[in-house]
Amino acid sequence: MQKDKELIQVLGLKVSVKGKDKVILNEIDFTCNQSEILTILGKNGEGKTTLALSLTKLLNPQIYSIEGKVYFRNEDILNLDENSLQKIRKEQIGYILQNPFSAFNPIYKIKDQIEELNKLKNIPFENFIQLMNKLELKNHNQILSKYPFELSGGMLQRLSAVRVLASNPDLIIADEPTSALDKPISNQLLKLFRDYVKERNGALIFITQDISIAESFSDKIAFLKNGNLIHFVERENLFKQTNLIEIEILLNSYRQLRL
């Protein structure tokens, strides 16, 4: 197993709104290695989703300008044209987006959207069914024959994870993928992510505001505050004292609330 091989390296990433003086992300630097889970923790409005989207230039170029470097397998992907980027998103970097309702095309049944992916990537249908079973989506035929709007947010969120996991990319970027899930199912999804990272030698960038997930499941944790990554820590050292007051307050509140 190639361990500790840099899969994605971000250097000086900066996102700002064009024509305004507004900087959303500033001087973001981090690395995520193969077979590693990096959790990015932040409250609402700190720039978590913008960070997820900017890594493969998914932000509207008419509104946002992106500077800096994102090396994926040692290639600066922010310099690629849109076609090459699309190829990377299709084949190597899988996204689980925050809003499960926008993850599927509203005018096609779930089944058609999954079959399209089957053809594209040659994935046996059985893989989907197995993953659906593991996430308590057991009425396969009934669920697959629905349109996205007929399903709940929790179901779509699970299906969107199933779709990405089945396509087996090199890197998964997941933006609050458990926000609509009950804890028992959220735990099962985290286990599937773990298996993916271990068995596939893949990597996961997991974006969340849930510290219990960071504590139970990640290798490295980065804290995002007001567009800056202000603190990096290995999981074992999560509660080690820092001199950053906002992190002390956050972790102290969390410790009082967790089981």
Partner 1 sequence: MNNQIILRLENISFEIKIGKSSQKILKDINLGINKSEIFGLTGESGSGKTTLGKIISGLEKPTSGKKYFHEKEFDGIETKHKIQFLFQNYVATHNPLQKIDNAFNELLKIQKETYSNWYKSKKEILNLVGLSDDVLSFYPSQLSGGQLQRLALAKLLFLKPELLILDEPFASQDVVSILNLIRLFKEINQKLGTTFLIISHELPYLLKISNRIGFIKDGEIIEVIKVDMKDVINKSLKPSSTYAQFLFHSFVINRT
Q: What is the smallest separation between the CB atom of 50 and partner 1, expressed in angstroms?
A: 18
5 binds partner 1 (CB under 8 A): no
71 binds partner 1 (CB under 8 A): no
Q: Segment near partner 1 (CB under 8 A), from 71-79, 110-118, 160-168, 187-195?
A: 187-195
Q: What is the smallest separation between the CB atom of 259 and partner 1, expressed in angstroms?
A: 5
Q: In angstroms, rounded to a whole number, what is the distance separating the alpha carbons of residues 77 and 69? A: 8
> Which residues from 127-156 bind partner 1, rule CB under 8 A?
152, 154
Q: What is the smallest separation between the CB atom of 252 and partner 1, expressed in angstroms?
A: 9
**Binding-site member from 190, 203, 224, 233 for partner 1 (CB under 8 A):** 190
Q: Segment near partner 1 (CB under 8 A), from 18-26, 56-64, 104-112, 190-198?
A: 190-198
Tokens standing for residue 72: 């994926």
If you write DSSP's letter for every residue of 170-236 in order, what string do you get?
SEEEEESTTTTS-HHHHHHHHHHHHHHHHHH--EEEEEES-HHHHHHH-SEEEEEETTEEEEEEEGG
Q: What is the smallest separation between the CB atom of 179 and partner 1, expressed in angstroms?
A: 7
For partner 1, which is the closer residue by CB, 125 or 254? Answer: 254
Q: Segment near partner 1 (CB under 8 A), from 60-68, 77-85, 90-98, 185-193?
A: 185-193
**Binding-site member from 16, 113, 127, 212 for partner 1 (CB under 8 A):** 212
Tokens standing for residue 1: 């197993």
Q: In angstroms, rounded to a whole number, what is the distance separating the alpha carbons of residues 40 and 69? A: 18
Give the count of beta carbons closer than 10 Å to the beta carbon of residue 155: 20
What interhelical angle do 125-134 and 110-121 show, nearest 10?
A: 130
Tokens standing for residue 74: 């040692």
Beta strands in the chain (DSSP E): 6-17, 23-33, 36-41, 64-72, 75-76, 93-96, 171-175, 203-208, 220-225, 228-234
> First vs last Cα of the chain: how many Å apart?
36
For partner 1, which is the closer residue by CB, 84 or 216? Answer: 216
Q: In this structure, which amino acid lies at residue 119? A: K
**Binding-site member from 191, 234, 239, 248 for partner 1 (CB under 8 A):** 191
For partner 1, which is the closer residue by CB, 70 or 165? Answer: 165
Binding site for partner 1 (CB under 8 A): 43-44, 152, 154, 179, 182-184, 187, 190-191, 194, 209, 211-212, 215-217, 235, 249-250, 253-254, 256-259
